[in-house]
């Protein structure tokens, strides 16, 4: 049974695309068949982060408008056999995504893959609402700062009201992925504490990814950080998060801390 | 020329009138109007869109001397703020003219329905309390004009509860709580942990800046005492 997962946040620049690539690659490395879908029509980036920008021929909009078959637009990853990308169109805008067209493509992807991971654009407008519309699971990417937390809170409200699942009266599964976490700044009190973010958003914690050069480098060389640096702190954090998504129990660790302090505190709340 | 048979029982639609009741918000400005508008602007800044899509009546009882021209420009001032006046109450009905909303009278304050005295088998009273189990997220607005609102979770920053009666929040109140809009000065606001952006009861409001900072983070109740909104700790 395929799962459709949306990676969303409300705010821009918090790490949605990076997290989509890293989680998708990590799940594929575990043998799951995965497609990552770029919903950011007009501002596409997922192809760059996945290192597939020179292989884009047809895109999501072409498939929706019937100009190409889904199989023609899907790009198979060169490193991981079970990972594919459905790129967005760079020359169009969000109006090119029709509600019926997105529904049709999502149904087709559900039949082909174990995981359909949708990279949502920032904001709460058409692109973001279509990206979350068909999701079974949401990963809410949040930075430990007030504006990001408030925007995530807004998005959680929309996930609970505007998705197909919510409209059918079913519960939407939501997970918090805390990114760009800086242990030293958290200790100095320059950032919101993890407990505060969890208390405000009150959804289970999927993982904490440290702010790191490895993540930036990975994006720039077009590799998901779980591929380019599986032994880096960020790579491990994403791999652990992917295992938790799959349902494996993995104790929660706070990046840069030896003891599993947060694991003891939040182990029960972690997905 | 029409070939249509003139049937007496033709499908001509019946003209129907029905009485329907809506809850309207009543604005009662006071002189000086400039200062009143400045207060309104301060309110709108914190609650943009509060009046959007809501029926608003202008109660001019406190402005007996206002002439038609100034009333017209005042209505335009409100319109410029997105407040569409649907009728004017309390004025001299004959004084209103073209380009002004119609005059109405005999409005009643909306209140909780009074239970009829039990006779024979007492029917169970209809609950007017709205209980919400989930947290109220930023950007969500709960509008319950006929009774109390009880929130089991937290109310986020940027969320809003508007209640005809009292508001109870068993989590953290970080957003806005507007109680007693059904002309209930006795309404109160209770919360387990107070970090609200704005409190209002029966039209009197206080923003976070105006509230005693020692109340922040504590369990508090807010109510009206002598025409002032008072926030006091519960513990």
pLDDT in tens, B110-125: 544 444 444 555 555 6
Q: In chain A, which residues have their Cβ closer than 8 Å to the Cβ of B174?
A: 200
Q: Is A192 on the interface with B (CB under 8 A)?
A: no
Residue B97 is predicted with a pLDDT of: 63
Average pLDDT, chain A: 91
Least CB–CB distance from A153: residue in B134, B138, B172: B138
CA distance A98 to A130: 9
Strands B56-59 and A3-8: unpaired
pLDDT of residue B115: 43
Please report residues of B whose CB lies closer than 8 A to that of A124. 139
Confidence bin at B70 (pLDDT 50/70/90): confident
pTM of the model: 0.72
Mean of pLDDT values over A260-270: 50
Query: What's the token pair of residue B101?
Result: 């909303």
- Residue A57 exposed, middle or buried by CB count within 10 Å (0-12, 13-18, 19+): exposed
Band of pLDDT at residue B91, cut at 50, 70 and 90: low
pLDDT in tens, B13-39: 667 676 676 777 888 888 888 888 888
- In this prediction, residue A262 has a pLDDT band, given cuts at 50, 70 and 90, of low
What is the assigned CATH class of domain B25-104? alpha beta
Residue of B nearest to A148 (CA): B138
Q: What is the arithmetic mean of pLDDT over A56-62? A: 94
Interface probe for B, chosen from A138, A155, A157, A166 (most Cβ of B below 10 Å), is A157
CA of B70, closest CA in chain A: separation in Å?
A: 41
CB within 8 Å: A154 and B153: no
Distance from C-alpha of A148 to C-alpha of A151, rounded to nearest angstrom: 5
Cα of B139 to nearest chain A Cα, Å: 6
Q: What is the pLDDT of residue A64?
A: 94
On chain A, the residues whose CB falls within 8 A of the CB of B140 are 157
Q: Which residues pair with A76 in a beta bridge?
A: A84
CB-based contacts of B184, cutoff 8 Å, min separation 6: B111, B112, B164, B165, B202
- Tell me what pLDDT residue B117 has: 44
Is A151 touching B (CB cutoff 8 A)? yes
Of A158, A160, A200, the CB nearest to B156: A200
Tokens of A159: 């996930």
Residue A182 tokens, joined: 């800086």
**Domain(s) of CATH 2.160.20.70: residues in chain B:** 130-233
Query: Could B137 and A200 be called an inter-chain contact, meaning their C-beta atoms sit closer than 8 Å?
Result: no
Predicted local distance difference test score (pLDDT) of residue B113: 43
Average pLDDT over residues A157-177: 94
Closest CA to A177 of A257, A239, A105: A239
Query: What is the ipTM score, two decimals?
Result: 0.73
* Residue range A76-120, pLDDT digits in tens: 999 999 999 999 998 888 888 999 999 999 999 999 999 999 999
DSSP string, A38-78: E--TTS--HHHHTT-GGG--S-HHHHHTTSS-HHHH-EE-S
DSSP-based helix, strand, coil % in chain A, nearest 5: 45, 15, 40
A76–B contact, CB cutoff 8 A: no
Which residue ranges does chain B devote to CATH 3.30.70?
25-104
By Cβ distance, the residue of A124, A153, A158 closest to B156 is: A153
- Which of A200, A203, A204 to mutate: most B Cβ within 10 Å? A200
Chosen CATH of B130-233 out of 1.10.3720.10, 3.30.70.1060, 3.20.10.10, 2.160.20.70:
2.160.20.70
Partnered with residue B200 across adjacent β-strands are B178, B205
């Amino acid at each position: 049974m395929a799962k459709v997962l949306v990676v969303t946040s409300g705010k821009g620049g918090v790490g949605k695309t990076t997290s989509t690539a890293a989680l998708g690659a990590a799940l594929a490395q575990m043998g799951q068949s995965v497609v990552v879908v770029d919903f950011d029509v007009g501002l596409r980036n997922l192809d760059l982060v996945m290192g597939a920008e020179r292989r884009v021929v047809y895109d999501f909009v072409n498939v929706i408008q019937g100009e190409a078959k889904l199989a023609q637009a899907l790009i198979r990853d060169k490193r991981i056999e079970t990972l594919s990308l459905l790129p967005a169109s760079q020359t169009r805008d969000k109006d090119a995504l029709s509600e019926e067209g997105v529904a049709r493509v999502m149904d087709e992807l559900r039949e082909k893959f174990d995981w359909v991971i949708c990279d949502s654009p920032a904001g709460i407008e058409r692109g973001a609402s279509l990206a979350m519309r068909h999701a079974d699971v949401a990963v809410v990417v949040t930075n430990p700062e007030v504006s990001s937390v408030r925007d995530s809170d807004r998005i959680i409200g929309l996930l609970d009201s505007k998705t197909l699942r919510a409209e059918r009266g079913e519960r939407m599964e939501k997970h918090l992925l805390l990114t760009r976490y800086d242990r030293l700044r958290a200790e100095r009190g320059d950032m919101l504490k993890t407990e505060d973010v969890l208390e405000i958003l009150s959804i289970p914690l999927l993982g904490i990814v440290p702010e790191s050069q490895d993540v930036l480098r990975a994006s720039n060389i077009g590799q998901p950080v779980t591929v380019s640096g599986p032994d880096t702190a960020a790579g491990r954090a994403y791999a652990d998060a992917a295992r938790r998504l799959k349902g494996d129990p993995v104790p929660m660790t706070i990046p840069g801390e030896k003891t599993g302090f947060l694991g003891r505190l939040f182990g029960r709340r972690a997905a | 020329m029409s070939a249509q048979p003139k049937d007496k029982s033709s499908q001509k639609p019946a003209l129907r009138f029905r009485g329907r009741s809506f809850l309207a918000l009543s604005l009662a400005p006071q002189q000086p109007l400039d200062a009143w508008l400045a207060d309104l602007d301060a309110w709108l800044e914190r609650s943009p869109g509060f009046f959007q899509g809501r029926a608003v009546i202008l109660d001019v009882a406190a402005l007996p001397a206002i002439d038609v021209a100034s009333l017209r420009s005042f209505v335009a001032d409100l319109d410029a703020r997105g407040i569409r006046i649907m009728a004017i109450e309390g004025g001299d009905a004959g004084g209103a003219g073209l380009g002004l909303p119609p005059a109405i009278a005999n409005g009643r304050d909306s209140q909780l329905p009074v239970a009829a005295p039990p006779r024979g088998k007492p029917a169970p009273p209809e609950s007017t309390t709205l209980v919400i189990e989930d947290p109220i997220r930023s950007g969500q607005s709960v509008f319950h004009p006929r009774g109390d609102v009880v929130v089991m979770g937290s109310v986020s920053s940027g969320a809003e509860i508007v209640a005809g009666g009292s508001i109870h929040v068993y989590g953290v109140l970080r957003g806005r709580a507007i109680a007693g809009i059904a002309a209930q000065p006795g309404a109160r606001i209770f919360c387990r942990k107070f970090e609200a952006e704005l409190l209002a009861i029966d039209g009197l409001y206080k923003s976070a800046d105006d509230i005693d900072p020692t109340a922040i983070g504590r369990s508090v109740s807010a109510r009206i005492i002598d025409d002032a909104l008072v926030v006091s700790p519960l513990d």
